[in-house]
Structure 1
Amino acid sequence: MFERFTAAARSVVVNAQSEARSLHHEHIGTEHVLLTLLADPEGPVARSTGLDAATVRADILARIGGHTQDGPVLSDADAEDAAALKAIGIDLAAVREAIEANFGAGALTLPRPAPKKRGLFGKFSAGHGHIPFTNRNKKVLELSLREAIRLKQKFIAPEHIMLGLLREGNGLAALILAERGVDFDRLRADMERSVNAAAA
């Protein structure tokens, strides 16, 4: 399947891993793919949705937490836990600071478990340990192939990946798109128009 991917589509898959790594996530989900599809503000996905990567990154951090360059960003549930602990006199930031002062930066970061298997999706792993694709994201990539076949195209472009993401429809990326008011039918039509123009 991956031999059909254009260089741009391969970049989406590779850069999704970079996005997951930068947020300190233990998986590569549909949300990371959406981030890479929005990385180019002049690209077809950004133009069609009117969204940018920074906005979607903030939505991801608000929903599932992660890290930014400034340090950890807590999800709503974690923030509530931190507030409850602070109410009884425990400041998590101070605890983290004290532990890292004594044991070194990152002392509270758990090591990543060794990958169990390196199947079909392992070939896009590049350095710093393998981050696995979620099953839902694997399905999106498979659906991108089906979208290319449906459109009678012998290649898979980033637009096909977006079409696969829309067809799967249940991941965090689809949820964020829906919450941001993106018209899925219009986005689908825009992606088909873009990829048909590229095939001509």
Structure 2
Amino acid sequence: MDRARHSGASWTEIGRSMGVTKQAAQKRFVPKGPESATETDLRTFALYDTAARTAVVRAQEEAREAGHDTITPEHLLIALIRDPEATAARTVQALGATPEPVRTAVADRFGPQAATVPAAIPFTPQSKKALELTHREALRLGHEHIGAEHLLLGVITLDEGPAAEVLRDLGVTKDRTEQEVLGLLGGAR
């Protein structure tokens, strides 16, 4: 959808290609009016499946264990590959990057430990952006849920920072990841 909008496609054209009206396309992809960020975050988080929620919680655990006072996209990535049976981890493995080299490469890029780690570790702006992109990727693919695989796509879509660099260096690109995710999910929507 983003590509279509950036290339100049109208909402009518986008709606037609999706088999819906332009209003339905806009409703699905355009954020609603002003509301608090917390309301938006909570409503979006409610769409996360168990694997995605678990990955977000594990990212906080990863940050705490590393002695960091913020949750970065790198913590999200490590959390995503922690469970080898999860779709995100299977996707990365299918693309030739096994969890341990990914974990090691990401850990090598971590910054120093913080003097103190807060009880509720906040997300960095980059992590918040990855979570926003996660939702966008699920919508773009036409999926009704937000899974860990979408979180992986969100991290990759950042296209900057250590997490995206590690994945790119290991041959895990956005296009390849998307193809693999769709294959693993059987094109499920």
TM class by shorter chain equals 0.5 to 0.7
Q: Which residue of 2 aligns with 1:21?
A: 64
Corresponding position of 1:48: 91
Please state how far the C-alpha of 1:154 moved relative to its aligned partner: 2.1
Deviation, 1:59, is 1.6
The answer to whether residue 27 in structure 2 is matched with residue 37 in structure 1 is no
What's 2:163 paired with?
Answer: 173
What is the root-mean-square deviation of aligned Cα atoms in Å?
2.2
Q: What's the CA shift for 1:42?
A: 3.1
Q: Is the 8 A contact 2:182 2:188 kept in 1?
A: no
Percentage identity across paired residues of the two chains:
38
Separation in 2, partners of 1:47, 1:11: 16
TM-score (norm 1): 0.63
**Matched pairs, number:** 143
Aligned counterpart, 2:46 = 3
Is the Cα–Cα contact under 8 Å of residues 37 and 158 in structure 1 kept in the other structure?
yes
The offset of 1:189, in angstroms, is 1.1
CA contact (8 A) 2:156 2:173 kept: no
Separation (CA, whole Å) in 1 of partners of 2:86 and 2:141: 20
Aligned partner of 1:101 in structure 2 is none
Give the gaps of 5 or more residues in structure 1: 68-108, 115-128
Query: CA offset at residue 153 of structure 1?
Result: 2.1
Q: Which moved more, 1:180-189 or 1:11-20?
A: 180-189
Normalising by structure 2, we get a TM-score of 0.66
Note if contact 1:159-1:194 (Cα within 8 Å) is conserved in structure 2.
no
Structure exhibiting the larger radius of gyration computed from Cα positions: 1
**SS of 1:178's equivalent?**
helix
Separation in structure 2 between the aligned mates of residue 110 and residue 192 of structure 1, nearest angstrom: 42
- Structure 1 residue 62 and structure 2 residue 108: aligned? yes
Q: Which runs of 5+ in 2 are unaligned?
A: 1-43
The 3 A distance-change label for structure 1 pair 152 and 184 is closer
Higher relative contact order (CA 8 A, sep 6+): 1
